[in-house]
Structures are given as structure tokens and as C-alpha cells.
């Protein structure tokens, strides 16, 4: 807790420098603007609201639960042409096709997941699973992710996420596929199933748990209050969760996100996303090495206005953090589970 050291991340096959003493240094850097507290519940000019007109001229229905629609400015399109052949191995390109969807969690713009009911969160989980099944029938990778807060690049406060399906396995997916496959081959057990069992027993990085799930600040965490959400049983994909596991997932997500908001009494920014076994042509393959999990990457470090910057050493050498994962886990673990609002 007092001296710098490095920790190995077996999921990414890399290392992080832990320098816990650096959190004591005075901060004279940039201060962020706290999130808006005056978001209107409904705004006709907000393209994600029920009944609003989006950029392409389409009018949203008067939806009352989740609402999924094609991204009006997609990063991936299903009919993109093939790139030209390269004349040199240092200038390679490959086809990239796919679809991008937006999913609104709720019709109200002033709600976030921790302020929604368990029934409403369960509807989000079911919609995630439906999209994973639908898009995963043909695409190798379906990435569900939420960018929450302007600090994480979110331009619209309405509660929503994105789902991108791609014709290729992205870098993080290929990396996790390799490391989990190697671990199963060498140790005979899925990496993250074994890891969850170890963290549940050790408890020093455990933030939350219930009958089906646990949340930890991973031993190798990079972001200050990063967490990893893991099922207790072996589950390869989100759509494989049982009814009971979906209910308990809604519960533990709400508890975690309330703790995040309570940490600095602010609508806590983060990027999160689900990782599970590849789909499409991989549905017929042996994917036992995969274990479903969700990553939460929040940037805040000291307060609602002081963030962790991944620059300099982090970009040019390796990741570095300013407090130990054990300190972060203890802080989160001791926070109340009643929302500060």
C-alpha cells in the first residue's frame, strides 16, 4: 500500500504500475465541470426522447420502456466496400462491416440506471440479451457498451447505450480470447471462473456479492475505481443467463451504481461494456475458455472534479494507478447502498 510495484493482468497479458503514494501529492491540474443536475425529464429537441425527431428525420415512438433504433451516424455499415489491396506488408487493410444500434434505457432523460427500478433495469438486461442473440446470429462480435457522462464523451444525458456488431473480432476480444484459451489449456479451468472463486474467498478486493454475481476491483485494475462484474457459475454469453441470474444481475448492478454515485455524490461517469464468447461462426466452436463479464472504467480519482488522466507514461510505457485496488475496493465497499439523492 505504500511502495510502488507492478501487477500482472492475465486477461490482457500486460502489467500495471501501482504507485499508491502518488495520491498524496497536491493537485493543481484541471478541474472538471460536475454533471448537470437540471436535465429536463422530456425535451422535444432531444433526439433520444419519445416523440422527438432524430437527425435523419425519423420520429421516435412514444416508447415507455427500452427503445432500440439504428445509429443515425454508424461507425460500421453492412455494405461497406472492400479496401484496396496493399502493395506492402506495412500498409495492410482489411474489410470492416457491421451494424450500430442505440438503445434507450428509459423514456425519462433525468433518470440513470441507479435511479431506475429493478424491473426497469431487468428490461434493459433482457433487451441486451435479445440484441446479443439477434446480431450474434451472423456477426462474430457484438459489443454492448455505455458511455455515461460528458467526461466519457457522452453527448446526450438521456440514459442509453450502444451496441456495435462487427464482421471481425476487435483487438480486446482477440486478446481476451487468446489469454482465456491459454489459461484453460494450462490449468483446466476458465480463467475468470477461477478468479471469481479466488476473490470471493480472499474478499480484500470484493465490493459486492449476491447468490449469482460478485463485483471486485480487479487485482490488476488500471482506473482508480475500476470494477469487474462476474457470474459465479460458468456462463459464456449474456443470452445464456437464467431468469434468476438476470434478476440478481439487475440487483447487483443497481447496488454498484448507487455506490459509484455515492462516492463523490455525483452522477458517476464511466465507460462499461460486456465481454463474452464470440458469436456468428464461433457459435459452433468450443468456447469453454470464455467467461462472461462486464468491465466498468470510471475516470474519477479524488473528487467529482478531479479525474485520472491516461497520458504520458501511461501512453508511452504502461498503465499506472495512484491508489491500490484494495484501497479502492474498501472505499466502495463501505459506501451506503441508499442513493444520496
Annotated binding-site residue numbers for UDP-alpha-D-glucose: 22-25, 55, 71-72, 147, 153-155, 162, 308-309, 313-314, 320
Task: Look at residue 273 and give its three-state secondary structure.
Answer: strand
The DSSP bridge pattern shows strands 14-18 and 319-321 to be: parallel
Say how far apart CA 48 and CA 108 lie, in whole Å: 10
Give the distance between the most distant pair of CA atoms in the chain: 60
Q: Which residue has the cell 435523419?
A: 56
Nearest to 104 by CA among 167, 56, 150, 46: 46
| Residues in the annotated binding site | 22-25, 55, 71-72, 147, 153-155, 162, 176, 275, 293, 295, 308-309, 313-314, 320
- What are the catalytic residues? 160
- Rounded distance, CA 125 to CA 25, Å? 41
Q: Rounded to whole angstroms, how far apart are CA atoms 10 and 180? A: 8
**150's grid cell:** 460528458
Cα 254 to its chain centre, rounded Å, is 14
Grid-cell match 425529464, residue found = 41
Give me the half-sphere count of Cα atoms (radius 13 Å) on the Cβ side of residue 267: 23
Q: Cite the annotated binding site for Fe cation by residue number.
A: 176, 275, 293, 295
- Alpha-carbon distance of 205 to 221, in angstroms, equals 10
Q: How far is the CA of 98 from the CAs of 52, 163, 205, 213, 278, in angstroms?
A: 26, 11, 37, 31, 14
* Whether the Cβ atoms of residue 244 and residue 212 lie closer than 8 Å to each other: yes
Paired strand residues for 14: 9
**Are the C-beta atoms of 106 and 116 separated by less than 8 Å?**
yes
Amino acid at each position: 500500500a505504500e511502495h510502488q510495484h507492478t501487477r500482472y493482468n492475465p486477461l490482457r497479458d500486460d502489467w500495471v504500475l501501482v504507485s499508491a503514494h502518488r495520491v498524496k501529492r497536491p493537485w493543481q491540474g484541471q478541474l472538471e465541470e460536475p454533471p448537470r443536475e437540471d436535465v429536463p425529464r422530456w425535451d422535444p429537441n432531444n433526439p433520444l426522447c419519445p416523440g422527438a425527431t432524430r437527425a435523419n428525420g425519423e420520429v421516435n415512438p412514444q416508447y415507455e420502456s427500452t427503445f432500440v433504433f439504428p445509429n443515425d451516424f454508424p461507425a460500421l455499415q453492412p455494405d461497406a466496400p472492400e479496401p484496396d489491396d496493399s502493395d506492402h506488408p506495412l500498409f495492410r487493410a482489411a474489410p470492416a462491416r457491421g451494424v450500430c444500434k442505440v438503445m434507450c434505457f428509459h423514456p425519462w432523460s433525468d433518470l440513470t440506471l441507479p435511479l431506475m427500478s429493478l424491473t426497469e433495469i431487468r428490461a434493459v438486461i433482457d433487451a441486451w440479451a435479445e440484441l446479443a442473440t439477434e446480431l450474434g446470429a451472423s456477426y462474430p462480435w457484438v459489443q454492448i457498451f455505455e458511455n455515461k457522462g460528458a467526461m466519457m464523451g457522452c453527448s446526450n444525458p438521456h440514459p442509453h447505450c450502444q451496441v456495435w456488431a462487427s464482421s471481425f473480432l476487435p483487438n480486446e476480444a482477440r486478446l481476451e480470447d487468446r489469454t482465456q484459451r491459454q489459461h484453460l489449456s494450462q490449468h483446466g479451468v476458465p480463467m475468470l471462473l477461477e478468479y471469481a472463486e479466488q476473490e470471493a474467498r480472499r474478499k480484500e478486493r470484493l465490493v459486492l456479492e449476491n447468490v449469482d454475481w460478485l463485483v471486485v476491483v480487479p487485482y490488476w485494475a488500471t482506473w482508480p475505481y475500476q470494477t469487474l462484474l462476474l457470474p459465479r457459475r460458468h456462463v459464456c454469453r449474456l443470452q445464456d443467463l437464467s431468469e434468476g441470474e438476470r434478476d440478481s444481475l439487475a440487483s447487483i448492478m443497481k447496488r454498484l451504481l448507487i455506490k459509484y454515485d455515492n462516492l463523490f455524490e455525483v452522477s458517476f461517469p464511466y465507460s462499461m461494456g460486456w465481454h463474452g464468447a464470440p458469436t456468428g461462426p464461433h457459435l459452433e466452436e468450443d468456447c469453454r475458455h470464455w467467461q462472461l463479464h462486464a468491465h466498468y472504467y470510471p475516470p474519477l480519482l479524488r473528487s467529482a472534479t478531479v479525474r485520472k488522466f491516461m497520458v504520458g507514461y501511461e501512453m508511452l510505457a504502461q498503465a499506472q494507478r495512484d491508489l491500490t485496488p484494495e484501497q479502492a475496493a474498501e472505499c466502495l465497499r463501505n459506501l451506503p447502498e441508499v442513493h444520496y439523492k
